[in-house]
A and B are shown apart, each in its own frame.
Chain A
Amino acid sequence: MNKNKLAAAFVEPGCAVNHDKSDRDRKRGCSAVTLQPGAAAGGCAFDGAKIALQPITDAAHLVHGPIACEGNSWDSRHALSSGPSLYRTGFTTDMSELDIIHGGERRLYRAIREIVERFQPPAVFVYVTCVSALIGDDVEAVCRIATEQFATPVIPVIAPGFAGSKNFGNKLAGRALLDHVIGTREPDHRTPYDIAVLGEYNVAGELWQVTPLLDRLGVRLLASVTGDGRYADVASAHRARVAMVVCSQALVSMARELEARYGIPFFEGSFYGTAETSTALRTLARLLVDQGAPEDLLSRTEALVAEEEARTAEALAPYRERLAGKRVLLYTGGVKSWSMIAALQELGMVVIGTSVRKSTEEDKARARHLIGAEADLFGQIPAKELYARLKRGDADILMSGGRTQFVALKTRTPWLDINQERHHAYAGYTGIVDFARQIDQALYNPIWRQVRRPAPWDQPKEAGHD
C-alpha cells in the first residue's frame, strides 16, 4: 500500500481539530481514534470513500476486494441522480482465494476493461480494500496502465478499510479527487457566478432543495462534489470562484488545497434550517462579489432571503405550535450535531442532548453554544443506556440513524431517520418545512396511544363491572 499517500492525508495543518492537538496527536491525524476490539462501531475508511465518491453518477465505481466490501454494501446508499444511473451498479472483483495468493492485479485490469467496453463510462473509480491492500496489489500502477490503454480516466482510491474511520475515508476520497480528477478538464464556459459545493451528497435529494435557490440568484453550480455529480463537472471544479463546504470536517482539507492551488476562497456552512440556509446564501453572494461578481448579487440575495424566510415562517407556523416544547434526543455526529440543533430550535423544540462523536472541537463548541449549559453532550453511548433513557421517557423523540432505530421503537418512542439511508430531504427552506412535517407525523401518529396501552391481562381490575 502507498504509505506516503496515507501519511499525507493524516497531516491536516489547517484543520481546526488539529490546531489544538499535541504533536503526537497531530501526527496521528484524524484516523487517530484507536478502536477498541469488542466495543467498536462504525464504518471503515473504504465506506467513507465510497460515500463521498459514489454520487458521481456517470462514473463506474469498482471495488477491488473479496465479496464482503461491495457485496454487503452496494445498493444501500440513497444519493439520488437526475440522470445517469451507472453509479448504482455494483462492480467488484470479488477476489477469490487464488487472486489473494497470486495477486489480484490481472483480475483488476480485466475487470476495468470489461466495464469500459460494456458501459463506456467517462471514468472508473477503483477502490482499494483491506485485502487488496494487504497483499500489496499495485492498484495505482494498474490504474495508470488502464487509463492509457482504454483512454478512460481510471482513478485509484486508496482508502482500505483498516486505514481508519469513515470520516478518514471521506478525506482520502478528497485526496483522490485532488490528485487525479480536479483540474483535468476545463468547463465549456465560465461565469462570475460559478461555485463548487463540497460534501453535499444529495441524499434523498437534498441538493435539489438548494439548487433552485441558486438558479434564482443566477449562481451557477459549476461542480457538485459530489451529489448528483458528473465526472466532467467535478474535473473542472478548479474553475469555481467560490467553494462551500457542507460537511465541515471531512472535506475541509480538500477546500484548503483548492484554495492553495487555485485561489478559490471557501467557507463552511449548512443548509439545515432557515437561518443557516440564509447565512449560506449570503456568504456565497458576498464571496462571489469579492471575487468580482457584480455587486447587485448582494441585494438580490437579500430580496430572495426575505421572501423565502417569510414564506417559510408562514408554512412552519402550524407545526411550531404542535412541536413547541417537545424534547428531542439527537444521536448523530459530525457537523449534524450542531446544524440539526439550529433547525430543531427554530421549530421551538428542546434538544435535551446531542452526541458529538465524530465531531470536531469546533463542532462541539458550536453544539454547546446552541444547546445551552444544562443539556447533554455525549459521545458514543451503548445501546443499553440509550434504551434506558428512552424507556424512562427522557425524550419525546429520538432522531438518529437506522442502527438505533429499533432501540427507540422497542421503548415505544417515536423515531426519525436523519442519516444516510433516509428517504426524506431536509435541506434549504423547503427542507425545514418537510422536516417539521415528518417530525409532526412521527410524534402525532395515533399508534403511540395504542401501543403503550397495557394488555387486557395487565389492566388494573376495575371494581363493579356494570
Chain B
Amino acid sequence: MTDFGNAAKACAVNPLKLSPALGGALAFLGLDRCLPMLHGGQGCTAFSLVLAVRHFRETIPLQTTAMSELSTILGGADNVEQAIGTIYDRARPNVIGICTTALTETRDDDISAELPFILERHPEWQDLDVILASTPDYAGGLEAGWSRAVEAMVQALVEPSGRRRTLRRVNLLAGSHLSPADVEELRETIDGFGLKAIVLPDLSGSLDGHVPDDFVPTSLGGTPADLIRGMGESVMTLAIGEQMRPAAKALAERSGVPFTVFDRVTGLEAFDAFVATLMDISGTGPNDRLQRQRSRLVDAMLDGHFFFGGRCAGVAGDPDLALAMSGLLADLGCTVTRAVTTAQTPATEHIAANAVMVGDLDDLEQGLGESPALIVANSHAKDLSDRVGASLFRAGFPVYDRLGAPQRVSVGYRGTRDLVFALGNLLMDHDDTHPHPAGETTGERENHDRHIDATLAAG
C-alpha cells in the first residue's frame, strides 16, 4: 500500500528528493562529448556540480544559462542562444543537453518552440546536437529528470528505421539507479550471449573513475550520438527500471523496436528473468561463467540469510532504487518497515515494504518502528542512522562519504552476491552491538536455552 505522503505536511524535513534537472544532467553525461547545461539560475548548477563532483570524485562538465531576474522576466531564449554559442566555441561538444528548472518553466518560457529558430540562425552549429529536456523541480526527483532526459534523447536522435533490423543487437536503457559499474556488468552479461548492446545513457566509460591522458571539457566515453541514431535497428530494447519505460515506448513508437521493462535486475529471481530474456533473444544458453556466478549467488544466499531473517530495515530512495533494494531485502527475509520514496510511479506500487510513502528522510526516521537494524539510503541519512542506532548502507545519490560508490556493482548474479555480503556484514555488526530479540543468533539461542531450562525443570 502506498501512502502518498502526509498531505497535511507543509514542510519537508531533511529532504530526500534531489532536483530533476540534476538527474537530467547526469543522464546527459552518459553521452559522448556532451556538455549538459541547466537552464536556470547559476546557483542551481553550482549546487548540482558540487554534489556530482563529491559523488563521482571526478571533474564534471556542467554549465548554466545563468538566468537573472531580468532575463527570466524577459524570457530566456537569448541566454540559451548565447550559452550554446559560448559552449560551442570553448568546448566543441558533439551534444549539448539542456535541462530546464522550475525558474524557467514557471515563466512558461517556451524554449522548445524557440530552439528550432535559434538553431536555424546558426548554421555553423550543424555538427552539434542540442537536446532539450523539460525537468522542472516540481515534477519528481532525480530519477524523473533522468527519465525525461533519456526520453528526450530518443525523441531527438533515434531515426525511424522502418523494418530494418541489425541481428544480435539490442538496446539497453539504463535507469538512474544503476552505477557506471552496474552498466558495465549488464553489458558484459549481454556480450556473453553473443549480443551487442547500445547502452543509453552510458556512464561506464565517462564516470567509471580512471585517469585520462588529457583534459576534455565535455563528457568523454559515453554513447556516441551516431550510435543512438541507429537504435531503431536493434531487435529488442531492454529497459532497466520503470523510469525507462517512457523512453522504451518512445523508441518503439519511432521505430517499432519491441521492449521489455525489468523493474529490477538485483536479486536471484529478478536476474533470472533478465537472463531468460537474453536466452530467448540470442537463442543460446548461458556460458559457464554466468552459470558459475549464479551458483555463487545461491551459495551466498544460503550463507547469508541467517543475518537477514527477522531483522527490520528502512529504505529511502527514488522509486526504482527503493524497489530494487527493498526487493532484495525482502528476498532474504528482512522486513522493510518503511520505504520512503520521491514520487508516485508505476514502481512505487511494487516496493516490498510494510508501508511505502512519498516523503523525506524525516518520514523515514519517524516510521522505522522499534529497533531497525539497517537503513538503506544516500549519505544524507548518516545522522539519522546514528540517531536510531541502525547501520547505514549507502545507496543512491549522493554518496560522498564512501569511496567507490560509482564502482559498486549491485546488479546481476555477481553484484547481488556482493550486495548480500555487504548488507549481511552490516547486519552482523549490528547484531553484535545490539542483540536483537528476534535475531537468529541471539534470540533463537535464548529460546532454545529457555526451552531446555523448562524441560529440565519438568524432568
Could you say which residues of chain B place their CB within 8 Å of the CB of A391?
215
Q: Which residues of B contact A66 (CB under 8 A)?
A: 19, 102, 136-138
User: Do the beta carbons of B14 and A382 come within 8 Å of each other?
Assistant: no
Minimum Cβ distance to chain A for residue B226 (Å) = 25
Q: Does B103 lie within 8 Å of A162, measured CB to CB?
A: yes
Annotate A368-396 by CB proximity to B: 1 below 8 A, 0 otherwise: 00000000000000111001100100000
Size bin of chain A's contact surface? 35 or more
Known: A38-B37, A68-B44, A68-B137. Is A133-B10 also a contact (CB below 8 A)? no
**Residue B285 CB within 8 A of the other chain:** no
Query: Is B457 in contact with chain A by the CB < 8 A criterion?
Result: no
Give chain B nearest CB distance to A68 CB in angstroms: 4
Question: Is B425 among interface residues, defined by CB-CB distance under 8 A?
Answer: no
Name B66-107 residues within 8 Å CB distance of A.
66-69, 72-73, 79-80, 82-87, 90, 101-103, 106-107
Complex Cα gap A73–B136 (Å): 17
Count residues on chain B whose CB falls below 8 Å from chain A CBs: 65
CB distance from A93 to the nearest CB of B (A): 6
Interface of chain A residues 14 through 56 with chain B (CB within 8 A)? 35-47
Nearest residue, chain B, Cβ from A383: B59
Given contacts A68-B47, A97-B139, contact A130 B103 (CB under 8 A): yes
Any A CB within 8 A of the CB of B330: no
In the assembled complex, the Cα of A90 lies from the Cα of B11 at a distance in Å of 10
Contacts A68-B19, A70-B12, A95-B138 known; list 14 others, CB within 8 Å: A35-B68, A38-B65, A40-B45, A68-B22, A68-B44, A69-B47, A93-B10, A97-B136, A100-B102, A110-B11, A130-B103, A131-B102, A131-B137, A163-B69
Residues of chain A contacted by B68 (CB below 8 angstroms) = 35, 162
Contact indicator B50/A76 (Cβ below 8 Å) = yes
Contact for B217 among A130, A383, A402, CB less than 8 A: A383
List CB contacts (< 8 Å) of B208-226 with chain A.
211-212, 215, 217
- Chain B positions near chain A (C-beta within 8 angstroms): 9-15, 17-19, 21-22, 37, 40-51, 53-54, 57-59, 63-69, 72-73, 79-80, 82-87, 90, 101-103, 106-107, 136-139, 141, 211-212, 215, 217, 379-380, 383
**Would you call A202 an interface residue if the criterion is a C-beta within 8 Å of the partner chain's C-beta atoms?**
no
Give the distance in Å from the alpha carbon of A68 to the alpha carbon of B141 in the complex.
9
Residues of B within 8 A of A407 (CB): 59, 215
A414 to B292, CA, bound (A): 43
**Top 10 A-B pairs ranked by shortest CB distance?**
A44-B43, A38-B83, A38-B86, A66-B137, A111-B11, A110-B10, A37-B83, A68-B19, A387-B215, A35-B66
* Known interface pairs A38-B37, A162-B103; A114-B9 also in contact (CB < 8 Å): yes
B9, closest chain A residue (CB): A114
Could you pull out 9 A-B pairs where Cβ atoms are within 8 angstroms?
A: A37-B79, A39-B83, A40-B64, A67-B141, A94-B12, A95-B138, A134-B72, A134-B107, A406-B58
Contact B14 A40, beta carbon cutoff 8 Å: no
- Give B45 Cβ to nearest chain A Cβ, in Å: 8
B41 lies within 8 A of A161 (CB)? yes
Is A2 interfacial (CB-CB < 8 Å)? no
Q: How far is the CB of A398 from chain B (nearest CB, A)?
A: 13
Known: A39-B86, A96-B138. A382 touches B217 (CB 8 A): yes
Task: Check A406/B59 contact, CB under 8 A, given A38-B84, A91-B11, A111-B10.
Answer: yes
Would B41 and A72 count as touching, CB distance under 8 A? no
* Chain B: CB-nearest residue to A112: B11
A62 contacts partner chain B, Cβ-Cβ < 8 Å: yes
B42 touches A71 (CB 8 A): no
Q: Tell me, in angstroms, the Cα distance from A113 to B14 when the chains sit together.
A: 17
Q: Which residues of B contact A133 (CB under 8 A)?
A: 69
Q: A47-B47, A72-B51 are in contact. Are A39 and B14 (CB under 8 A)?
A: no
In the bound assembly, the distance between CA atoms of A71 and B378 in angstroms comes to 13
Do residues A74 and B14 form an inter-chain contact, with CB atoms below 8 A? yes
Q: Is A75 an interface residue (CB 8 A)?
A: yes
- Is A114 within 8 A of B43, CB to CB? no
Question: Chain B: which residue is nearest A46 at the CB level?
Answer: B43
Q: Is the CB of B211 within 8 A of A72?
A: no
Q: Are B44 and A161 in contact (CB under 8 A)?
A: yes
As a 0/1 sequence over residues 191 to 223 of chain A, the CB contacts with chain B under 8 angstroms (1 = contact) are 000000000000000000000000000000000
Q: How far is the CA of A332 from the CA of B17 in the complex (A)?
A: 31
B138 adjacent to A35 (CB under 8 Å): no
A89 adjacent to chain B (CB < 8 Å): yes
Q: How far is the CB of B213 from chain A (nearest CB, A)?
A: 10
Query: Is the beta-carbon distance between A67 and B47 smaller than 8 angstroms?
Result: no
CB distance from B399 to the nearest CB of A (A): 13
Assembly CA distance A402 to B211 (angstroms): 18
What CA separation (Å) do A403 and B42 show in the bound complex? 15
Q: Is the CB of A40 within 8 A of B66?
A: yes
Contact across chains for A410 and B86 when beta carbons are under 8 A apart: no
Check A36–B86 contact: CB distance below 8 A. Answer: yes
Give, as a whole number of angstroms, the nearest-CB distance from B137 to chain A.
4
User: Within the assembled complex, what's the spacing in Å between the Cα atoms of A66 and B37?
Assistant: 19
A431 on the interface (CB 8 Å rule)?
no
| Docked pose: A45 CA to B37 CA in angstroms | 20
Interface status of A405 (Cβ within 8 A of chain B): yes
B138 touches A100 (CB 8 A): yes
State whether the Cβ of A107 lies closer than 8 Å to any Cβ in chain B.
Answer: yes
- A401, closest chain B residue (CB): B50
Q: Which residues 119-138 of A sit at the B interface, judged by CB distance below 8 A?
A: 130-131, 133-135
Residues of chain A with a CB closer than 8 A to B84's CB = 38
Q: Which residues of A contact B107 (CB under 8 A)?
A: 134
A334 at the interface (CB under 8 A from B): no
Residue-by-residue, is A350-367 near B (CB-CB < 8 Å gives 1, otherwise 0)?
Answer: 000000000000000000
> In the complex, which residue of chain A has the Cβ closest to the Cβ of B210?
A410
Contacts of B79 in A (CB 8 A): 37
Residues of A near B44 (CB, < 8 A) are: 44, 68-69, 72, 161
A412 / chain B contacts, CB cutoff of 8 Å: 211
Q: Is A273 an interface residue (CB 8 A)?
A: no
- Give chain A nearest CB distance to B295 CB in angstroms: 35
Q: Does A92 contact B (CB under 8 A)?
A: yes
Residue of B nearest to A98 (CB): B138
C-alpha spacing A38/B92, complex, angstroms: 12
The answer to whether A93 touches B64, judged by C-beta atoms less than 8 angstroms apart, is no
CB-based contact B12/A100 at 8 Å: no
What are the residues of chain A within 8 A of B82 when measuring CB–CB? 36-38
Are A384 and B138 neighbours in the complex by a CB distance under 8 Å?
A: no
Residues from chain A with Cβ under 8 Å of B379 in the complex: 75
Residue among B41, B43, B141 facing the most chain A CB atoms (10 A cut-off) = B43
Cα–Cα distance between A69 and B141 once the two chains are bound (Å): 13
Whether B15 contacts A131 by the Cβ 8 Å rule is no
User: A163 CA to B103 CA in the complex, in Å?
Assistant: 13
Question: In the complex, are the beta carbons of A92 and B53 less than 8 A apart?
Answer: no
Please report the C-alpha to C-alpha distance between residue A32 and residue B212 in the assembled complex, in whole angstroms: 38
Q: In the assembled complex, which residues on chain B have CB atoms less than 8 Å from the CB atom of A421?
A: 50, 54
* Option from B9, B11, B50, B215 in Cβ contact (under 8 Å) with A62: B11
- Pick the contact of A161 from B42, B53, B63, B85 — CB < 8 Å? B42
Bound-state CA distance A96–B4 (Å) is 14
- Distance (whole angstroms) from the CB of B285 to the closest CB of chain A: 36
Closest Cβ neighbor of B19 among chain A residues: A68
| A88, CB-defined interface residue at 8 Å | yes
Contact present for A43 and B138 (CB under 8 Å):
no
Most buried by A among B11, B80, B83, B103: B11
Q: A72-B51, A100-B102, A130-B41 are in contact. Are A91 and B138 (CB under 8 A)?
A: no
Q: Do A94 and B64 form a contact, CB below 8 Å, given A76-B51, A403-B49? A: no
Residues on A with C-beta less than 8 A from B45 are 40-41
The distance in angstroms between the C-alpha atoms of A387 and B214, with both chains bound, is 8
State whether B137 touches A43 (Cβ < 8 A).
no
State whether A37 touches B19 (Cβ < 8 A).
Answer: no
Is there an interface contact between A100 and B106, defined as CB atoms closer than 8 Å?
yes
CB distance from A159 to the nearest CB of B (A): 10
B48 and A72 contact, CB distance less than 8 A: yes
Cβ contact within 8 Å between B57 and A130:
no
Contact status B13-A89, CB under 8 Å: yes
Confirm or deny: A115 has a beta carbon within 8 angstroms of a beta carbon on chain B: yes
CB pair B53 A402 closer than 8 Å:
yes
Residues on A with beta carbons closer than 8 Å to the beta carbon of B21? 68
